[in-house]
Amino acid sequence: MIEKQKAGFREWLCLMALSLPTLLLSIDTGVLYLALPHISAALKADSAKQLWIMDIYGFMIAGFLIIMGNLGDRIGYRKLLIIGSTVFGLASVIAAFSTSADILIAARALMGIAGAAIMSSTLALIRNIFVDPEQRGTAISIWMSCFMAGMILGPLVGGLILGHFWWGSVFLLAVPVMIVIVSTGRILLPEYGPGNTQPADPAGAILSLVAILPFIYGLTETSRNNLTLLPALAIIVSVVSAILFIARARKATNASIDLRLFQNPVFSVTLLAMFLTAVIMGGVALFIAQYFQLIAGLSPFKAGLWMIPQALAMMIGSLLVPVATKKIKQQIVITIGLSLSGVGMVLLANVPVYHGLLLLETGFVMAVFGASPILISGTGIIIGNLPTEKAGSAASLSETSNQLGVAVGVALLGSIGAFTYRYTILKTLSRILPATALKIAAESIVSATSLTEVKNSPENSQLLTGIKEAYVSGFHVVAMIGAGIFVLLALITGTRLSHLKEL
């Protein structure tokens, strides 16, 4: 039994070192959004390859988190962090000097695998370094705040770099950070593990990978192109693999995930709440980013500025959660937060087509702030419910729920919003558009908007209004789904987390 001793200066210094790669991984995505047009022009990447350049990184992180968590339990978390940082740095150099889109996609895939190693090992090290529950909660909040800070800095840093250097320079940001981690990690960071002496479960690892990666791919492609043969087969393969994975985990003594954990209502409810929160926030964030540019007509840079308050709300919420849980039960803080997110979603469901930026910003800031308790306390609950030697697996479950949730939210809620948009377009614009133009308008709001640029006509204003109204109607449906799920989660956590032990 580990004594719950207080962390000192060295431990907090370790947290600073562990927060660096987290900050970097968060900046990476925001920077790439700005760099993508430059990359596409330089490498002659078509639309399909552009999507793979963006998505392959997240796919690999989600797919390899569980595998990396188990690997860290066996070889040690510090060793895994150093290996992951080394590979990430090398892959970043390859990405920076890529001569084709295919090479860049491969480099991004390698960065995603290394990123999974970094994310699972950093959280596992925090869980072991900070044995005092109260300090651990504070440490996780600071760690999460660095992630949110990266989301704020991403567009700003990216714009500054791309204004002075070539597109590959955005990837070289990772190199000095990874050099610091590799050179100081062995000296500064303590090693934990390998505590899991059971033999590895390669079959389970492969099944978990096949259960996750094709599922994300299938949902994402379905949201973009409707359900076609290849995405449908990918989803079927992932579902079958998930069933086989669960069946194997029930029998194997060395399973990648101990299914007995889910018999604990606190653990299972917390993981479910974190997953569904990520689903809603990921899906709604997609519509909000497009609302800024396609409905409100903001430039990408101005849209990025409008998204800063949302990231600040999450950062502030992350820092306030440990303070609040010192005075109020975690269960109450989580339930109030989820309820607040539900109210925020209701506000989003009433955002108008024109002059709706202030209401949209208010609603999403409220939703993001309310989601902070479940994301922060939930992470602590999950990694605190496993023994020390399973910290890597616990961290991976927490991060996998977030990564999967965002991917599912973008795909599933994106599909629902797209269906509502198409239905509204076909219903409202069939009288003013010929069949060919109506088909183009129903594909997407981008395609529809292009119709208004062909020629100036009295119908253009009416057409543009109809297009925007159709898109916002889809956004409203998604927001109301989010409101319903948050209310349901508030009821579940308010009743099922009554036995939650204060961490």
Profile the chain (503 residues) by mean pLDDT over runs of 10 residues: 63 83 73 72 72 75 77 82 91 91 90 86 80 77 74 69 79 84 81 60 75 77 71 90 84 66 79 90 82 79 77 82 84 93 96 92 94 83 62 63 74 80 81 74 69 60 81 92 95 79 46
Find tokens 């669960």 and name the residue: 246
Find tokens 């109030």 and name the residue: 336
Cis preceding linkage at 231, omega within 30? no
Find tokens 């791309």 and name the residue: 162
Q: How far apart are CA 184 and CA 494, in angstroms?
A: 44
Residue 1 pLDDT: 38
CA atoms within 13 A on the CB side of 55: 21
Q: How far apart are CA 134 and CA 239, in angstroms?
A: 39
pTM, 2 dp: 0.75
Instruction: Quickly count: other Cβ atoms within 10 Å of residue 387's Cβ.
Output: 11
Pair 349, 483: CB distance under 8 Å: yes
Q: How far apart are CA 376 and CA 334, in angstroms?
A: 10
Q: How far apart are CA 452 and CA 314, in angstroms?
A: 38
Q: Quick one: three-class SS letters along 208-263?
A: HHHHHHHHHHHHHHHHHHCCCHHHHHHHHHHHHHHHHHHHHHHHCCCCCCCHHHHH
Q: What is the CA radius of gyration of the chain?
A: 23
SS3 content of the chain, % helix, strand, coil (to 5): 80, 0, 20
Pair 150, 26: CB distance under 8 Å: yes
Residue 43 vs residues 46, 50, 52: alpha-carbon distances, Å: 9, 10, 13
Cis preceding linkage at 194, omega within 30? yes
Q: Taking the CA atoms of 176, 305, 284 and 494 in sequence, report the sign of the dihedral they define.
A: positive
E strand or H helix at 202, and its extent?
Answer: helix 202-225
